[in-house]
A and B are shown apart, each in its own frame.
Chain A
Amino acid sequence: MSLSVQNLTKKYGDKVVVDNLSFEINQPGVYALLGTNGAGKTTSIRIILGMLANNGGKVLWKGKPLDPVKSNVGYLAEERGLYPKYSLLDQLMYFAKLRNVPKKTAMDRIKYWAERLAVEEYIFPPKVKGKRTSKANRADQLSKGNQQKIQLMAALISDPELLILDEPLSGLDPINTDLFKSIIREEIARNKYLIMSSHQMPTIEEFCSDITILNRGKAVLQGNLNEVKKSYGRINLFVKSDVDIASYISSFDLTIVNKTPSEYHLRVKDEKQAMEFLAKLINDQIPVVKFELREPSLHEIFVEKVGVVHEEK
Chain B
Amino acid sequence: MKKSSISGWKNVYIFTLIQTLKNKAFIITYLLLIILMMVSMPIISMITSSERQEFDEPIPVKKVYVNNETSFPDMDFTGVHSDDRLSHISFETMKEAYDTVADRIEKKEQESVILTLTEKEGMYALNLLNANESPIKDIHMQLLGETIAKEFDIYKINVLGIKQEQLAMLHAEVETKVTLTDVNGAPILEEDTSITNSEYWFIYGILIVILFVNSFASGQIATSIVTEKSTRVVEYLLTSVKPLAIIIGKILAMLSAVLLQMISMVVILYASNKISTVLSGDTKESVLSRYLPENIFQNLNLMNIIVCFVLILLGLIFYGTLAALTGATISKLEEISEGLTLFTVTNIVGAYLGLGAANVLMASGVNGFVTFTFLFPLSAPFLLPGAILTGKVSLGLAVGAIALQIIFIILLFWFVAKVYETLILHTGNKIKVKELIKLSKTV
The verdict on A77 contacting B232 (CB below 8 Å), with A46-B425, A69-B242, A99-B240 known, is yes
A99: chain B residues within 8 A (beta carbon): 240
A81: chain B residues within 8 A (beta carbon): 231-236
Which of A54-62, A89-97, A232-240, A257-265 participates in binding chain B?
A: A89-97
The verdict on A83 contacting B237 (CB below 8 Å), with A46-B425, A98-B8 known, is no
Asked if B389 CB lies within 8 Å of chain A CBs, one says no
Q: Is the CB of B240 within 8 A of A68?
A: yes
Q: Is the CB of B4 within 8 A of A69?
A: yes
Q: Is the CB of B241 within 8 A of A75?
A: no
CB distance from B379 to the nearest CB of A (A): 36
The verdict on A77 contacting B236 (CB below 8 Å), with A46-B425, A90-B19, A94-B15 known, is yes
Asked if A309 CB lies within 8 Å of chain B CBs, one says no
Q: Is the CB of A69 within 8 A of B240?
A: yes
Interface string of B149-187 (1 = CB under 8 A from A): 000000000000000000000000000000000000000
Q: Of B15, B19, B238, which is within 8 A of A51 by CB?
A: B238
Asked if A184 CB lies within 8 Å of chain B CBs, one says no
Interfacial residues of chain B within 1-37, with CB under 8 A of chain A in the complex: 4, 7-8, 11-12, 15, 18-19, 23
CB distance from A215 to the nearest CB of B (A): 22
Q: Is the CB of A97 within 8 A of B11?
A: yes
Asked if B50 CB lies within 8 Å of chain A CBs, one says no
B233: chain A residues within 8 A (beta carbon): 81-83
B231: chain A residues within 8 A (beta carbon): 81-84
CB distance from B319 to the nearest CB of A (A): 25
The verdict on A98 contacting B238 (CB below 8 Å), with A77-B232, A81-B231, A86-B19 known, is no
Asked if A298 CB lies within 8 Å of chain B CBs, one says no
A94: chain B residues within 8 A (beta carbon): 11, 15
Asked if A73 CB lies within 8 Å of chain B CBs, one says yes
Interchain CA distance A85-B227 in the complex, whole Å: 10
Asked if B239 CB lies within 8 Å of chain A CBs, one says yes
The verdict on A98 contacting B11 (CB below 8 Å), with A69-B4, A73-B239 known, is yes
A52: chain B residues within 8 A (beta carbon): 425
Interfacial residues of chain B within 207-257, with CB under 8 A of chain A in the complex: 227-228, 231-242
Asked if B378 CB lies within 8 Å of chain A CBs, one says no
Q: Is the CB of A79 within 8 A of B235?
A: yes
CB distance from A96 to the nearest CB of B (A): 10
Interchain CA distance A52-B234 in the complex, whole Å: 13
Interface string of A137-155 (1 = CB under 8 A from B): 0000000000000010011
CB distance from A138 to the nearest CB of B (A): 12
B19: chain A residues within 8 A (beta carbon): 83, 86, 90
Asked if B424 CB lies within 8 Å of chain A CBs, one says yes
Interfacial residues of chain A within 20-79, with CB under 8 A of chain B in the complex: 46, 49-52, 67-70, 73-75, 77, 79
Task: Give the size of the chain B interface in residues (CB under 8 angstroms).
Answer: 25
Measured CB to CB, the nearest residue on chain B to A51 is: B238
B237: chain A residues within 8 A (beta carbon): 98
Q: Is the CB of B235 within 8 A of A95?
A: no
CB distance from B152 to the nearest CB of A (A): 70
Q: Is the CB of A75 within 8 A of B8?
A: no
Q: Is the CB of B425 within 8 A of A51?
A: yes
Q: Of B18, B23, B241, which is within 8 A of A98 by CB?
A: B241
A299: chain B residues within 8 A (beta carbon): none
Q: Is the CB of B239 within 8 A of A69?
A: yes
Interchain CA distance A70-B4 in the complex, whole Å: 9
Q: Of A74, A79, A83, which is within 8 A of B227 by CB?
A: A83
B425: chain A residues within 8 A (beta carbon): 46, 51-52
Interchain CA distance A99-B7 in the complex, whole Å: 11
Q: Is the CB of B232 within 8 A of A79?
A: yes
Interface string of B375-389 (1 = CB under 8 A from A): 000000000000000
Interfacial residues of chain B within 90-142, with CB under 8 A of chain A in the complex: none
Interchain CA distance A46-B12 in the complex, whole Å: 21
B11: chain A residues within 8 A (beta carbon): 94, 97-98
Interchain CA distance A154-B233 in the complex, whole Å: 11
Measured CB to CB, the nearest residue on chain B to A77 is: B235
The verdict on A69 contacting B424 (CB below 8 Å), with A83-B233, A90-B19, A95-B240 known, is no
Interchain CA distance A67-B2 in the complex, whole Å: 14
B236: chain A residues within 8 A (beta carbon): 75, 77, 81, 95, 151, 154-155
Q: Is the CB of B7 within 8 A of A69?
A: yes
Asked if A80 CB lies within 8 Å of chain B CBs, one says yes
A98: chain B residues within 8 A (beta carbon): 8, 11-12, 237, 240-241
B240: chain A residues within 8 A (beta carbon): 68-69, 95, 98-99
The verdict on A80 contacting B232 (CB below 8 Å), with A69-B4, A98-B8 known, is yes
Q: Of B8, B227, B234, B235, which is within 8 A of A69 by CB?
A: B8
Interchain CA distance A50-B241 in the complex, whole Å: 11
* Residue of A51, A67, A70, A155 with most chain B CB atoms under a 10 A cut-off: A51
Interchain CA distance A80-B235 in the complex, whole Å: 9
A49: chain B residues within 8 A (beta carbon): 238-239
B8: chain A residues within 8 A (beta carbon): 69, 98
A50: chain B residues within 8 A (beta carbon): 238
* Residue of B7, B239, B241 with most chain A CB atoms under a 10 A cut-off: B239
Which A residues are within 8 Å of any B CB, using their own CB?
Answer: 46, 49-52, 67-70, 73-75, 77, 79-86, 90, 94-95, 97-99, 151, 154-155
Q: 20 A–B contact pairs at CB < 8 A?
A: A46-B235, A46-B425, A50-B238, A51-B239, A67-B4, A69-B7, A69-B239, A69-B242, A70-B4, A73-B239, A75-B239, A77-B235, A79-B232, A79-B235, A80-B232, A83-B19, A90-B18, A97-B15, A98-B8, A98-B237
Excluding A85-B23, A98-B11, 15 further A-B contacts by CB distance (< 8 Å) are A49-B238, A50-B238, A68-B238, A69-B7, A69-B239, A77-B235, A77-B236, A79-B232, A81-B232, A81-B235, A83-B227, A84-B227, A90-B18, A154-B236, A155-B236
Closest 7 CB pairs of A and B: A81-B232, A98-B240, A81-B233, A79-B232, A94-B15, A77-B235, A68-B239
